[in-house]
Amino acid sequence: MGVDVVGVEYSGYGAAPGSPSVRTAEANALAAYEHLIAKGVLPEHVVVYGHSVGSGPACRFATSRKVGGLVLHAPITSAVKAIERTEGCCRPSLFFCCCDVFRNHELLQTVSCPSLVIHGRCDVLVPCSHGERLEQAIPEEHRWPGFFPEQSGHSTIEKSEKPAYFRCLRNFLDGAALRTSVALQHPDDTGLAAGFEGSPAGFARVPLGPEMV
């Protein structure tokens, strides 16, 4: 796809030392970002990709640092709601709201980069309703049309929907790069973002071609 990929191993997982926690997970993601910036990578050229629980650090990261885009794959609305399977007065989010973490639904309301949600409708681990709700939380001018394949589960989209999955990513990355290019060429144009409103993730001001619609 013409991109470089940096993977983050969270502390306490795999061969990574340390203990797993919300704070260390977010610190790990930030360390990878700062390493890239130190190597000369422009912040606008960094696209954050978070899968499942990894959507928590990804949302925190993308809403607190300058990045070129955000992709959420089978994301959770929050940690407590990820284990919630009931509605009504006895649902866990009512009792444990004070200690809830990875509140992605709240964070995404402030995101200012192009953002894409991918979620399989047959996901039994994190129901697709999480992804649908998060997509609606993204401000319209930064919201790329989501990808919600009917027959895919939590970690099967890359295989079951391989051509469509990579086409979706390619279109999103091309669109994000296009907006970054325009923004870098017009750094003092404060009305630029408003000029993109009302289009998929704000990219329609520059023709995208039929393959990206």
Rounded Cα distance, 5 and 47, in Å:
10
Rounded Cα distance, 57 and 65, in Å:
12
Q: Which range, of 86-100, 113-127, 160-174, averages the lowest pLDDT?
A: 86-100
Q: Confirm whether 89 is domain-assigned.
A: yes
List pLDDT tens digits, range 99-117: 677 789 999 999 999 999 9
Percentage of the chain with pLDDT > 70?
Answer: 78
- Encoded amino acid at 11, one letter: S
Rounded Cα distance, 91 and 87, in Å:
6
Q: Confirm whether 77 is domain-assigned.
A: yes
> Is the Cβ–Cβ distance between 90 and 43 less than 8 Å?
no
Q: Confirm whether 141 is domain-assigned.
A: yes
Q: Confirm whether 9 is domain-assigned.
A: no
Q: How many CB atoms lie within 10 A of CB 142?
A: 21
List pLDDT tens digits, range 142-165: 999 999 999 999 999 999 999 999
pLDDT of residue 93: 52
Phi, psi of 71 (to 5 degrees): -120, 125
Residue-number span of the structural domain to which 74 is assigned? 22-212
CATH, residue 141: 3.40.50.1820
Task: Indicate the number of domains in the chain.
Answer: 1
Q: Confirm whether 180 is domain-assigned.
A: yes
Alpha-carbon torsion (204, 190, 69, 176), positive or negative: positive
Query: Residues 63-74: what's their mean pLDDT?
Result: 96
Rounded Cα distance, 18 and 81, in Å:
27
What pairs with residue 147 in β-bridges?
118
Q: Confirm whether 177 is domain-assigned.
A: yes
What single DSSP character describes residue 213? Answer: -
> Is the confidence at residue 47, as pLDDT, over 60?
yes
DSSP string, 116-167: EEE--TT-SSS-HHHHHHHHHHS-GGGBPPPB--TT--SS-HHHHTHHHHHH
Q: Confirm whether 7 is domain-assigned.
A: no
